[in-house]
A and B are shown apart, each in its own frame.
Chain A
Amino acid sequence: MGRVYIIAAALLCLLLSALIYVTSDVRTRVSLPEVALREALAPVQNAFSTASQWVTESVGAVGSFPRLHEENRELRRNVARLEAELFALRSVQAQNVRLREMLDLKPHLPAQSVVARVVARPTEHWFAHITINRGRSDGLRAGLPVVDERGIVGQVESVTPQTARVILLVDPKSAVGGVVVGTDEPVLVEGIGDPTGQRASVQPLVRDSGLTVGDEVVTSGLSRVFPKGLPIGRVVEVARSEGELRSQGILQPYVDFARLDWVSVIVDPSAEVLWPWPRAASDPLVERSTGDAIPHGDAPIEEASTP
Chain B
Amino acid sequence: MKPWVYLGSVLCLYLVETSLFSSLTVWGVRPDLVLVLVCAVGLHRGLRDGAIAGFLAGLLLDLGEGQLIGLGAVTKALAGAGAGLIGQTLFGTNALVPALVLLCASVLEQTAYLFGSWAFGVYRPFGDGLWRVILPSAWVDALTGIILFPLIASLVRRYSVIGKERGVGSAEG
Contacts and interface: CB of A to CB of B under 8 A. Distances in A.
A37 B63 contact: yes
B68 A49 contact: no
Contacts of B60: 37
A240 interface: no
A56 B23 contact: yes
A34 B15 contact: no
Given A16-B70, A37-B63, A52-B22, A21 B120 contact: yes
B21 A34 contact: no
B73 interface: yes
Interface stretch (A23-31, A131-139, A225-233, A296-304): A23-31
Interface string A91-126: 000000000000000000000000000000000000
Contacts of B67: 23-24, 27
| B19, B60, B67 — most chain A CB neighbours (10 Å) | B19
Contact residue range for chain B? 20 to 34
Contact residue range for chain A? 20 to 34
A17 B62 CA distance: 14
B93 to A, nearest CB: 33
B23 A23 contact: no
Contacts, number: 65
Interface string A9-50: 000000111011111110100100110011001001110110
B109 to A, nearest CB: 15
Contacts of A24: 67-68, 117, 120-122
| B21, B64, B69, B116 — most chain A CB neighbours (10 Å) | B69
B16 interface: yes
A51 interface: yes
B29 to A, nearest CB: 17
Contact of A20 (B14, B23, B70): B70
B140 interface: no
A35 to B, nearest CB: 10
B120 A48 contact: no
A56 to B, nearest CB: 5
A270 B122 CA distance: 102
B28 interface: no
A19 B19 CA distance: 26
A38 B64 contact: yes
If over half of A's interface residues share one DSSP class (helix, strand or loop), that class is named, otherwise mixed; here it is: helix
Given A20-B70, A21-B120, A45 B23 contact: no
B19 A16 contact: no
Contact of B23 (A27, A33, A34, A52): A52
Contacts of A45: 15, 18-19
B11 interface: yes
B68 A20 contact: yes
Contacts of B68: 20, 23-24
Nearest to A40: B11
Interface in B48-72: 60, 62-64, 66-71
A23 B70 contact: yes
B19 A27 contact: no
A25 B69 CA distance: 11
B79 interface: no
Contact of A27 (B14, B66, B73): B66
Nearest to A38: B64
A74 to B, nearest CB: 28
B39 interface: no
Contacts of A51: 20
Interface of B: 11, 14-16, 18-23, 60, 62-64, 66-71, 73-74, 116-117, 120-122
Interface of A: 15-17, 19-25, 27, 30, 33-34, 37-38, 41, 44-46, 48-49, 51-53, 56
Given A16-B70, A20-B71, 20 more contacts: A15-B70, A16-B74, A21-B120, A22-B69, A23-B67, A24-B68, A24-B117, A24-B120, A24-B121, A34-B66, A37-B64, A41-B64, A44-B15, A45-B19, A46-B19, A48-B15, A48-B19, A49-B22, A52-B19, A52-B23
23 contacts: A15-B70, A16-B70, A16-B73, A17-B70, A19-B69, A19-B70, A20-B71, A20-B116, A21-B120, A22-B69, A23-B67, A24-B67, A24-B117, A30-B66, A37-B63, A41-B15, A45-B15, A48-B19, A48-B20, A49-B20, A52-B19, A52-B21, A56-B23
